[in-house]
Structure 1
Amino acid sequence: AMDDTNYHNLYRLAPSREAGNRIYRMSEFFREHPKWTHVPDPYYEGHEGFELVLDMLEDGCRTLLDELEKR
């Protein structure tokens, strides 16, 4: 999930508590952006905002892939 609102909506829609417990915030996978607790909406931040979000998502996806490969 990108932010707390997404997280809570997904958790509420999960078919079971077990399924809900498998939902993670993307920020949990940030290595290079540890101060961020959510993925910000880049819409009003111009080009720099989109670049930041892209960097954050690439960071989080690399970590997520590393975690999945360990399983």
Structure 2
Amino acid sequence: MQKVSVLFVCMGNICRSPSAEGVMRRLVVEAGLDDEIVIDSAGTHGYHLGHAPDARSQAAAAARGYDLTALRSRLVTTEDFQRFDWLLAMDADNLAELRARCPAAQQHKLALLMRFASKHAAEHVPDPYYGAAQGFEQVLDYVEDACEGLLAHLREHLRADS
């Protein structure tokens, strides 16, 4: 079976994209697809390179059974556009940043994560960094919804390729 790879992208790679990575990792493991789906996260800006996810992100995630402790912030690289099948941004600003950096031949790989959501009508996952704890809960609500839809989409892709 062919592998498919997904990179979740936000600004600093310490709140939204590692939350999405943690959620998706668990969904993929529970689905028994961890040998077929490769998951990572990165940021468009290097504010927190090498740092663990924000403590508030980790606490909200841990309360729902997601472990983000091993994740570390990194920047999106030129190689990521070739390596990943999907580069999913959390908002329009980060999608625009990806589009500006991405080679023309790889532009089709770029999208907003929330395109896969079915329970929330929002187009973007809001940045919780400067807000209260509730913002981190909202991030998880949104990424859980979108990642469930993404997994369903990837299952169809994997089935079609097998």
The count of residues paired between Structure 1 and Structure 2 equals 69
**Per-residue deviation, 1:64:** 0.7
2:114 equivalent in structure 1: 27
Q: TM-score, normalised by structure 1?
A: 0.86
Q: One-letter code of the match for 2:111?
A: Y
- Greater share of helix residues, 1 or 2? 1
- Greater share of strand residues, 1 or 2? 2
Could you report, residue by residue, the CA deviation over 1:30-63 in whole angstroms, capped at 9, with x for unpaired residues? 11111x1111011233121110111101111111
Q: Superposition RMSD on alpha carbons, in Å?
A: 1.1
List structure 1 segments (4+ residues) > 4 angstroms apart after TM superposition: none
Residue 69 (structure 1) aligned with residue 162 (structure 2): no
Q: One-letter code of the match for 2:115?
A: E
* Larger-Rg structure: 2
Ranges in structure 2 where 5+ consecutive residues have no aligned partner: 1-88, 158-162
Ranges in structure 1 where 5+ consecutive residues have no aligned partner: none
1:4 equivalent in structure 2: 92
